[in-house]
Structure 1
Amino acid sequence: MADKSSPPSGKRLQATENLVWGIHPVAALLDQQPRTINEVYVVKGKANAKIQEIIDRCRGLGIKVRFEKSLLIKAEQGGQVNHQGVVARTHATETLTEEDFLALVRQGPQPPFLLALDSIQDPHNLGAILRSAAAAGVTGVILPRDRSAPLGGTTAKIAAGALAHLQICVVTNLATFLQKLQQDNIWLYGTVKEGGTPLFTTDLKGGVCLVIGNEEKGLRPLVAKQCDFKVTIPMPGSLDSLNASVAAGISLFEVVRQRLEGMG
């Protein structure tokens, strides 16, 4: 396979493109979803042992490798991202249709353990939540089509390979889709800052969908109305709020704790 290099000015990319960067995320993508990779860029002179392994695997899979004098990726909020010398350009992240996701819920591991994210717009938060979701072993993740950070770029980097381990459904209308989950005997637990049942005394052992709201505004009214229960994380300290990704992680692993306890 012929190696191609860029003009002297180097390659310039936007973080909003379908990109995955960093040694671990690119290696994980090669492990789990190599067919989603269109081509891989490598900075000349950066080919350490780990990057060389990525190059060799790409060649073995027939994935084009382009060697560039330099790579500059402009971050969504300005500045540049640290790509560690390797970037994969991907096709759009593979997601399930609504019908296929519902089939997964009905036929997959029981009871289902789902996560719905209502308008998480910071890619750092989305990536961190998806990483926690993969670690917690969720059955699947639901995102709204028009009110979510993109799955590529920064989200994929922060998720550190988690996208390859998750079943994700992007829906047109989140509130309407949550109704369909209720028809399949899934209980919806919306996380709220205050006024909900304490998370740690709530029974989360059945078919569960945790619903996490926007970083600043929380759950949208129609989504909140659809939830069967509202849950609140007790915070006895002097601060009364948590980052969305931290709140999601605590909630996810409370489900895990209760299920493991129920197996004992």
Structure 2
Amino acid sequence: MSNKILFGFHAVTVRLKTAPKSILEIHVDASRRDQRMRQFVERANEAGAKLVDSDDDRLQKLCGTHRHQGVVARVEAMAMSHSLDDTLDAVEEQPLLLVLDGITDPHNLGACLRVADGAGAHAVIAPKDHAVGINATVSKVASGAADTVPYFMVTNLARTLNELKERDILIVGTSDDAQQSLYDIDLARPVALVLGAEGSGMRQLTGKTCDVLVRLPMRGAVESLNVSVASGICLYEALRQRMKQPD
């Protein structure tokens, strides 16, 4: 299993909580001695993590950015489910999936993973040729969700969506031109929510593969929302409907 880099307080703290033994070493800015850093170092010591004093130059070289907050960890990659089928087979409730078509910005992906974790989505799916993979920036923005939400990059997105249909999962795409509102759809049933990049939206074939298209009501002057914001609205509407269902 390959090693990876995590940086920032949130991402590294989540790994300390969920899988401390997977942490090989944590580099911390030796010049930073504020309360947040002291609390982090105390938590890392309690978890038995190896701490290495470093300077800003070393930290930047490790993670490739100056936005490390003085904390960079070298960790073992977490083992996720080997396949989407394995993940779905293990789901004991109504599946809730987020499908991202054409999301290439790591900040957007990280934010989408974070909201997917918060709403209890079982997986995030993206095409291999129109998507960003999990990198250090994604992990930083995701604040630990890159380790908790399975992220599958598939060769043929339309084929994968058709395979989800065979599992009786409703494919709900978002489009500014849709006649139905998001709030008109039953999202308490098994569902995959499909969102495209801001502006360009879903690719044409992806849109044609969806069972239904819905729009987010827009009352102001702007024409579209950032994909992570739209993902949050869609996923939390699904969660709201599911919480109303009797146990």
Is 1:42 aligned to 2:28, yes or no? yes
* Equivalent residue, structure 2, for 1:192: 175
Deviation at 1:61, TM superposition (A): 6.0
Q: Which has the higher helix share?
A: 2
Give a deviation string over 1:77-110, Cα, whole Å, max 9, x none: x9x5322211113344644332xx2133133132
Q: In structure 2, how many angstroms separate the alpha carbons of the residues matched to 1:36 and 1:216?
A: 39
* Equivalent residue, structure 2, for 1:31: 17
Contact 2:81 2:87 in 1 (8 A): no
Contact 1:121 1:147 in 2 (8 A): yes
Matched residue type, 2:239 = V
What count of residue pairs does the alignment treat as equivalent? 243
For structure 2, the 5+ residue unaligned runs are: none
* Equivalent residue, structure 2, for 1:3: none
Pick from 63, 80, 83 the counterpart of residue 68 of structure 2: 83
Contact 1:124 1:154 in 2 (8 A): yes
Q: In structure 2, how many angstroms separate the alpha carbons of the residues matched to 1:50 and 1:109?
A: 39
Deviation at 1:46, TM superposition (A): 1.9
Deviation at 1:54, TM superposition (A): 4.6
Is 1:115 aligned to 2:98, yes or no? yes
Contact 1:95 1:170 in 2 (8 A): no
Q: In structure 1, how many angstroms separate the alpha carbons of the residues matched to 2:93 and 2:67?
A: 40
Pick from 73, 84, 100 the counterpart of residue 60 of structure 2: 73
Q: In structure 2, how many angstroms separate the alpha carbons of the residues matched to 1:218 and 1:196?
A: 16
* Equivalent residue, structure 2, for 1:245: 228
* Equivalent residue, structure 2, for 1:4: none
What TM-score comes out, normalization by structure 1 length? 0.81
Correspondence list, 1:192-231, <5 A: 192-231=175-214
Deviation at 1:215, TM superposition (A): 2.7
Q: In structure 1, how many angstroms separate the alpha carbons of the residues matched to 2:233 and 2:115?
A: 9
RMSD: 2.7
Percent of aligned positions with the same letter in both sequences?
37
SS of the residue corresponding to residue 244 of structure 2 reads helix
For structure 1, the 5+ residue unaligned runs are: 1-16
What TM-score comes out, normalization by structure 2 length? 0.86
Q: In structure 2, how many angstroms separate the alpha carbons of the residues matched to 1:43 and 1:115?
A: 37
Change (3 A) 1:161 1:38: same
